[in-house]
Structure 1
């Protein structure tokens, strides 16, 4: 049953937890500041410092999870269909949060929402293409 859950819910849930810990919760406009604060710096070989933010980490985690989700969508098991439906529900929830809650009107959450949309589209497209290959249409021999 856990295989049917969309893994992209993890970075979205992490963003929700960050948004809820802000003063004002979902109505806070400080989420953009929290996402852009450098957590640590990585020294590059060019002697430059690369500041890594919470938003960067969430986007990187989302991309890794999106790759795994795309691999999962190539299976034709029943859990894949449930996964697609749950991914669609996750996309609707993300879209509502993005449009209605000020704490979610950030580039980081927009990109996470876009990843969820791509997961939904890729899942349905892969399922349709796979189902089309499984159905054989015979040619009428005249």
Structure 2
């Protein structure tokens, strides 16, 4: 069973843990290098891995938004609250003023917009009225 807690709170919390509990950590730190068959070296930085992790959470959030339950409105409101908190942090906290956090904020906004869009679309389908034959 999926909970009405916004899953994107996990990457937001993880970001804050990294920047506040591990000061000096650079987002450009290379986590791994993969040798490709072409001979190219693909380096994956901490920032790129974090964005991919956030996108995985977004995927599950969008899956949650396709389920229409009595708690879906609460879930959408909580997602909006997480986005607003992220926006406030982006504007007011020095450690959040970077591209990694800006991309996380865009992911949160996409979650809010997608959640409401899916809900409206499903509601339209559920309440479609057929014209009467005269």
Structure 2 length-normalised TM? 0.87
Counterpart of 1:109 (choices 98, 101, 106) is: 101
User: Structure 1: which 5+ residue stretches go unaligned?
Assistant: 24-29
Aligned residues: 134
| Structure 2 runs not aligned, ≥5 long | none
Q: Report the CA distance shift for 1:138/1:52 in structure 2 as closer, same or farther (over 3 A).
A: closer
CA deviations over 1:55-110 (Å, ceiling 9, x no partner): 11110011111111111101111222221111000000110111111111111111
CA distance in 1, matches of 2:132, 2:42: 65
Q: Which runs of 4+ in 1 moved over 4 A?
A: 136-142
Which has the larger helix fraction?
1
Structure 1 residue aligned with 2:16: 16
Match of 1:130 in 2: 122
1:53 to partner: Cα distance:
1.5
CA RMSD of aligned residues (A): 2.1
**1:47 aligned to 16, 20, 39, which one?**
39
Task: State TM-score, norm by structure 1.
Answer: 0.83
